[in-house]
Amino acid sequence: MAEDHGQAAFRIRVDRVLQPFVRHEADQLVAIDAELAPVAEQLEVAVAHGKRLRAAFCYWGWRAAGQPDSDALVRAAAAMELVHAAAVVHDDLIDQSPLRHGLPSSHVALRDAVPGRPLPKAAACGLAMLVGDLLMSLAGRLFTDSGLPAAYLSRARPLWAVLARELVAGECLEILRTGGLPDTAGSLKVIRYKTAKYTVEHPLHLGATLAGAPADLREALTEYGLPLGEAFQLRDDLLGVFGDPARTGKANGDDIATHRPTALLAETWHAATETERADLTRVLGRPHLPPADLERVRDIMHRTGAPARIERMIDERVERATRALEQTGMPDAAVRALTALAGTATTRRH
What pLDDT was estimated at residue 1?
39
What pLDDT was estimated at residue 2?
42
Sign of CA dihedral 11, 13, 18, 19: positive
Q: What is the pLDDT along the chain (350 residues), one digit of tens a residue?
A: 344 558 899 999 999 999 999 999 999 999 999 999 999 999 999 999 989 999 999 999 999 999 999 999 999 999 999 999 999 999 999 988 888 888 999 999 999 999 888 888 999 999 999 999 999 999 999 999 999 999 999 999 999 999 999 999 999 999 999 999 999 999 999 999 999 999 999 999 999 999 999 999 999 999 999 999 999 999 999 999 999 888 877 777 889 988 999 999 999 999 999 999 999 999 998 888 899 999 999 999 999 999 999 999 999 999 999 999 987 789 999 999 999 999 999 987 76
What pLDDT was estimated at residue 329?
83
Angle at 28 between CA 24 and CA 31, to 5 degrees: 135
Sign of CA dihedral 207, 210, 216, 217: negative
Q: Note the pTM of the prediction, 2 decimals.
A: 0.94
> Contact 343/56 with Cβ under 8 angstroms?
no
pLDDT digits 0-9 by tens, 7-17: 899 999 999 99
Which domains can be identified in the chain, with CATH numbers? 5-346 (1.10.600.10)
Pseudo-torsion of CA 294, 296, 298, 299, nearest 10°?
170
> Contact 89/132 with Cβ under 8 angstroms?
yes
